[in-house]
């Protein structure tokens, strides 16, 4: 019978923590990927890659994770293809006594990720190259994430326009993010705006300004300012959305949402106070829920 991790096995051997139990416990705590270190150094003279020391989390089966130490390793890949390209996957694999006959942690390079392995990095090898300095890194790096942890800020764009904003719909802030697992994202815009030419309560300059955050070119919300004809206004908008593992694009559209006036962005130090213009950020808010 299984026991909690850290509890001694019973004297009769009928209960205790097995290796499978430990893998399942870690499986609930860590996603597969790099925990620390494992940076890659290429060579100017050989077809070799060097993996720095570190720690990785390997997922041998659904719901299981193995935490493994990585000693510095130098791996030699095969010669470049005669034509075209080849994608090399540098990996760390945990072997099982019941399958391979030993429990070694092995390092290798292949075009296919083997079982019970975690990819460290991928490189494109082109025909004719004779050293790995010429290899082109491709794809994102999968970093292991403790359950519930945040990856922090994934993207930031700052519009420092200190002038009129366009009335017509305009795309802004385009960027690319990579998610190693399904994640919950927070989209946020902070902006300072006022109505161009408005003095006091000037209804003829009335304008509402809008922002439309987008994930993979699809709108996820619509944000609209209040009327800007009376005073400067600093606003913050935010919304949350789930996104699957992989590469995504993020951006926003901006446009006049109401009225006939024109909105003006504010950036710089004005009257002794700092104004940031419009700041668009995408943050990781933890695992998708």
- The conformational region for residue 97 under phi > 0 = left, psi -120 to 50 = alpha, else beta, is alpha
Residue 87 has pLDDT above 70, yes or no: yes
Q: How far is CA 56 from the centre of its chain?
A: 18
Give the mean pLDDT of the chain: 92
pLDDT at 111 exceeding the cut of 80: yes
pLDDT of residue 210: 97
9: pLDDT confidence band, cut at 50, 70 and 90?
A: confident
Q: For 218-241, write each residue's pLDDT tens digit.
A: 999 999 999 998 888 999 999 999
pLDDT over 90 (residue 1): no
**Residue 6 pLDDT > 80, yes or no?**
no
**Choice among 37-51, 57-71, 140-154, 178-192 with the minimum mean pLDDT:** 140-154
| Whole-angstrom distance, CA of residue 244 vs CA of residue 288 | 8
CA 17, 23, 24, 30 dihedral sign is positive
Domain spanning 153-287, CATH architecture: Sandwich (2.60)
pLDDT in tens, 28-46: 899 999 999 999 999 999 9
Picking from 93, 90, 183, 181, the residue whose alpha carbon sits closest to that of residue 142 is 181
- Where do the structural domains in the chain lie, given as residue ranges? 29-138, 153-287
Q: How many angstroms separate the CA atoms of 70 and 68, rounded?
A: 6
Residue 12 has pLDDT above 80, yes or no: no
Three-class SS of residue 132?
helix
Q: Which two tokens stand for residue 46?
A: 């050989």
User: Model-level pTM?
Assistant: 0.74
The pLDDT score that the predictor gives to residue 13 is: 66
pLDDT surpasses 70 at 217 = yes
pLDDT at position 209 is 97
Identify the pLDDT of residue 204: 85
In this model, does residue 48 exceed pLDDT 80? Answer: yes
Q: What is the pLDDT of residue 265?
A: 95
What average pLDDT does the segment 247-276 reach?
A: 93
Q: How does pLDDT run across 13-27, given as a tens digit for each residue?
A: 677 778 888 899 999
* Rounded Cα gap, residues 238 and 217, in angstroms: 17
124: β partners: 87, 136
Evaluate if residue 130 carries a pLDDT over 70: yes
């Amino acid at each position: 019978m299984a026991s909690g991790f850290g509890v001694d096995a019973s004297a009769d051997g009928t209960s205790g923590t097995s290796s499978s139990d430990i893998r399942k416990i870690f499986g609930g705590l860590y996603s597969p990927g790099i925990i620390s270190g494992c940076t890659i150094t290429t060579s100017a003279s050989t077809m070799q890659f060097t993996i720095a020391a570190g720690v990785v989390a390997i997922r041998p089966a659904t719901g299981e994770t193995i935490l493994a130490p990585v000693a510095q390793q130098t791996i030699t890949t095969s010669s470049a293809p005669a034509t075209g390209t080849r994608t090399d996957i540098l990996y760390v694999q945990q072997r099982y006594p019941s399958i391979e006959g030993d429990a070694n942690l092995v390092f290798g390079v292949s075009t296919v990720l083997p079982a019970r392995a975690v990819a460290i990095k991928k490189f494109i090898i082109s025909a004719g190259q004779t050293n790995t300095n010429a290899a082109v890194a491709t794809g994102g790096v999968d970093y292991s994430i403790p359950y519930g942890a945040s990856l922090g800020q994934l993207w930031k764009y700052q519009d420092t326009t200190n002038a009129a904003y366009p009335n017509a719909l305009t795309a802004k802030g385009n960027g690319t993010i990579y998610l190693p697992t399904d994640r919950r994202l927070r989209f946020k815009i902070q902006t300072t705006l006022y109505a161009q030419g408005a003095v006091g309560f000037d209804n003829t300059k009335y304008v509402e300004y809008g922002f439309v955050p987008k994930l993979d070119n699809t709108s996820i919300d619509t944000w609209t300012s209040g009327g800007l004809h009376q005073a400067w206004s600093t606003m913050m908008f935010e919304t949350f959305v789930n996104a699957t593992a992989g590469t995504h694009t993020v951006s926003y559209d901006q446009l006049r949402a109401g009225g006939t006036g024109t909105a003006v962005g504010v950036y710089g130090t004005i009257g002794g106070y700092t104004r940031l213009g419009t700041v668009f950020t995408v943050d990781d808010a933890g695992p998708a829920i």
